[in-house]
Amino acid sequence: MGRFIFGIIFGAVLICGGAFIYFTSGMAPVAATAQPMPFERLLAGMALHNKLHSDAPKTVPIQPTAANLLGGAHVYVQDCAFCHGMPQAEASAEGAGMFPHAPQLFTRRGMVTDDPPGFTFWKVKNGIRLTGMPSFEKALSDKQIWQVSLLLNKADQLPLSVAAALAPAPAPAAAPAAKPAPKRR
């Protein structure tokens, strides 16, 4: 029995030592362009999933009225679109340069309409470690965070006024060509 316990302890020490060498030797991929470490996606996904289920708010203190959704659209344009892109627009280069890539929240693949609004609220308020998703706890009020959370929850069924606020701005009209200055003699 003593040899068995020694074997378990020795194996654990070897695994911990190997992990220590892996991380301290510079072999671990840390660049945003590198492939993920073994089990990185699985472990990070499990941790986030369980944290959301335990800590995310279960009730929403505001209603998804047109005014609140419009407020969320303004927050989204100001603070989120840089990474997460705009509806009917190309993916943001900044979001594509992150690892993992920032989801384009107005595309079918990136929408969070099936997530409870409390999950999105928690992500916006707290950020997500090692993803580039910052915490907006000090930048936005709880009401603003709820507004953008509801906007994203209803992204596939927005009122026209809210969709218009998220529409790309029209391209500026081309300025008329300047007339050449008369030649001086």
Q: What is the CATH number of the domain that holds 150?
A: 1.10.760.10
d(CA 156, CA 160): 11
pLDDT at 166 over 70: yes
Nearest to 144 by CA among 56, 68, 65, 52: 68
Which range marks the domain in which residue 121 is found? 41-165
Span 119-148, average pLDDT:
96
Q: Are the C-beta atoms of 166 and 106 separated by less than 8 Å?
A: yes
Nearest to 79 by CA among 117, 112, 31, 127: 127
Check residue 95 and give its pLDDT: 87
Residue 15, domain member (yes or no): no
pLDDT at 181 over 80: no
Confidence of residue 185 (pLDDT cuts 50, 70, 90): low
Q: Are the C-beta atoms of 91 and 156 separated by less than 8 Å?
A: no
Identify the residue with better confidence: 88 or 125.
Answer: 125
d(CA 124, CA 131): 12
Residue 22, domain member (yes or no): no
Identify the residue with better confidence: 154 or 97.
Answer: 154
Residue 170, domain member (yes or no): no
Maximum CA extent, the chain: 107
Residue 177, domain member (yes or no): no
pLDDT at 131 over 90: no
Residue 7, domain member (yes or no): no
d(CA 177, CA 137): 48
User: Percentage of the chain surpassing pLDDT 70?
Assistant: 90
Q: How many domains does the chain have?
A: 1
pLDDT at 146 over 80: yes
Check residue 171 and give its pLDDT: 61
d(CA 6, CA 11): 8
Query: pLDDT digits over 9-29, tens only?
Result: 989 999 999 888 888 888 887
Q: Which residues pair with 133 in a beta bridge?
A: 128
Residue 60, domain member (yes or no): yes
Span 84-91, average pLDDT:
90
Residue 178, domain member (yes or no): no
User: What is the distance of C-alpha 36 from the center of its chain?
Assistant: 18
Size of the chain in residues: 185
Residue 11, domain member (yes or no): no
Span 51-71, average pLDDT:
97
Check residue 27 and give its pLDDT: 83
Check residue 174 and give its pLDDT: 64
